[in-house]
Amino acid sequence: MNNFHPDIYQKSIYSIDYNKLKERGIKCLLFDLDNTCIPYKEKGPTDKLKKLFFKLEEKNFKVIIFSNSPRKRLEVFKKELNVDCCAKAGKPRKKNFLKIIKLYDYDLSEIAIIGDQIVTDIYGGNRVGITTILINPISNIDMPFTKIYRYIEKKKIAKMTKQGIFKVGNYYD
């Protein structure tokens, strides 16, 4: 199996079919923050994001923001979205993925990670064996250290496109 290949690929967090995820047995959603939920430069949640998270709560999903950003940045999201947060997640390292899985006591088949980066979100999620969902980044402005990941990502995407298993803009679930 290719650890860089997402199980699901959608345009944005708003085009994911969450009912279908429910049918697959997913109960817990780990959301990357920057360029997945909001642009990296944004300081707080948008109304659209609030509505989505409210809807997910209604559908009985456990929603956790799982971000490599520092705790301070996540505070306002935790408060306004009323969700649990894991800061400094250290993606793609397995350590905090495994910690969350143990802490919340979910089966691997019940958890999905949703993120915009193949090298951190998708690779990290595939390594621990949870469902991985890639979306297109909201903006092309990244945190400084993300640039190196984007460079590797470009190469991985080119390889997968050549293999016929992934193409930017060809969505699937």
Token pair of 60, please? Answer: 């009985």
Nearer to Mg ion (CB atom), residue 34 or residue 153: 34
Q: Does 34 bind Mg ion (CB under 5 A)?
A: yes
List the one residue out of 116, 165, 120, 156 whose CA is nearest residue 13.
116
Q: Does 116 bind Mg ion (CB under 5 A)?
A: yes
Q: Does 32 bind Mg ion (CB under 5 A)?
A: yes
Q: How far apart are CA 116 and CA 50, in angstroms?
A: 19
Task: Output the smallest distance, CB 58 to Mg ion, in A.
Answer: 25
Task: Output the smallest distance, CB 167 to Mg ion, in A.
Answer: 21
Nearer to Mg ion (CB atom), residue 56 or residue 114: 114
Q: How far is CA 125 from CA 82, 107, 144, 157, in A?
A: 24, 14, 22, 17
Q: Does 153 bind Mg ion (CB under 5 A)?
A: no
> If DSSP codes are grouped into helix, strand and coil, which group holds residue 24?
coil
Contact residues for Mg ion (CB under 5 A)? Answer: 32, 34-36, 116
